[in-house]
């Protein structure tokens, strides 16, 4: 595993966390883009974390170096940065980046996030409301989720999802499920965007209270940005890659269970 950061302290913190949380892990630390490029030719890497700001470039250059390295082009590249959310909203993280992590969530959450890629840990019994109008896609995705010991309630329209959520609204503000996974475009007059708005605006559930993942094949960055700004925790781009879907789902469930770290995540 490779950790790229210009700060010696941050490199040490992440390395120590990885060595503590992941038995038998070997961590290679790099302080620059040039250092990362050199080490990629010397060792086999399974996952890379990189900051955005580096002394001789940025994390996107590290991601580019990984994608152009022999035999390691498809390993996960995770951007760890306090600017990640803003970059996500602007959809400027670049196509070479696998995922992002907002470092203000803390080292415990980062450990859970990385473990999701290298040693996926499920959240047994967690309840997912899944909104998808294609029976074939729904069957396959439901099996993916249930293979992780998740409980899945499937509805086929945004209208049904809103009814489902409203029927389970309670006086103690319990949302009725632990996560909403919705396709963007659905049969009917409403879309996944309407489900998202209902969760955030009508029911008043914040991102930590009820995470929402939106699945979309829309590559328009403006439309993707709008979904994030409306309150989506993250997007799952189609065609769906099982490992990425499971990682994002389990990560959001685990982060939602962590103690609050800042008001902005509520």
Residues 6+ apart with CB under 8 A from 175: 165, 168, 169, 199, 203, 205, 209, 210
Residue 129: name the closest of 194, 197, 213 by CA: 213
How many other C-beta atoms lie within 10 A of the C-beta of residue 8?
Answer: 10
Q: Which CATH number fits domain 2-118: 3.40.120.10, 3.40.50.300, 3.30.2320.30, 3.40.50.2300?
A: 3.40.50.2300
**Are the folds of 2-118 and 127-265 the same?**
yes
**SS3 letters across 11-53:** HHHHHHHHHHHCCCCCCEEECCHHHHHHHHCCCCCCCEEECCE
Q: Which fold has domain 127-265?
A: Rossmann fold (3.40.50)
Rounded CA-CA distance 99/183 in Å is: 19
Question: What does the alpha-carbon distance between residue 259 and residue 263 come to, in Å, rounded to a whole number?
Answer: 11
Q: Which pLDDT tens digits describe the chain residue by residue (266 residues)?
A: 999 999 999 999 999 998 988 888 899 999 999 999 999 999 988 889 999 889 999 888 998 898 888 666 667 888 888 776 666 655 556 667 777 888 888 888 888 788 777 776 788 999 999 999 999 999 999 999 999 999 999 999 999 999 999 999 876 778 999 999 999 999 999 999 999 999 999 999 988 899 999 999 988 878 887 888 888 888 888 888 887 898 889 878 877 876 543 333 33
Q: Where are the domains of the chain?
A: 2-118, 127-265
């Amino acid at each position: 595993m490779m950790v790229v950061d210009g700060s010696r302290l941050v490199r040490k913190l992440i390395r120590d966390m990885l060595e503590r949380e992941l038995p038998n892990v070997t961590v290679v630390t790099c302080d620059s883009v040039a250092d990362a490029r050199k080490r990629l030719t010397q060792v086999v890497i399974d996952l890379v974390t990189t900051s955005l700001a580096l002394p001789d470039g940025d994390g996107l250059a590290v991601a580019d170096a990984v994608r152009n390295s022999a035999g390691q082009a498809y390993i996960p590249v995770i951007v760890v940065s306090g600017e990640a959310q803003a970059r996500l909203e602007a959809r400027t993280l670049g196509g070479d980046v696998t995922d992002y992590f907002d470092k203000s969530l803390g080292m415990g959450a980062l450990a859970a996030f990385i473990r999701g890629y290298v040693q996926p840990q499920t959240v047994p019994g967690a309840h997912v409301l899944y909104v998808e109008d294609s029976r074939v896609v729904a069957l396959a995705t439901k099996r993916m989720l249930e293979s992780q010991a998740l409980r899945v309630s499937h509805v086929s329209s945004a209208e049904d999802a809103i009814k489902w959520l409203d029927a389970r609204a309670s006086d103690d503000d319990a949302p009725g499920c632990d996560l909403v996974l919705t396709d963007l475009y659905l049969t009917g007059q409403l879309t996944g965007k309407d489900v998202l708005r209902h969760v955030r605006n009508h029911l008043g559930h914040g991102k930590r209270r009820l995470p929402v993942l939106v699945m979309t094949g829309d590559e328009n960055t403006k439309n993707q940005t709008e979904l994030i700004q409306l309150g989506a925790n993250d997007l799952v781009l189609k065609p769906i890659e099982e490992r990425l879907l499971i990682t994002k789902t389990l990560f959001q469930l685990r982060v939602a269970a962590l103690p609050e770290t800042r008001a902005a995540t509520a």
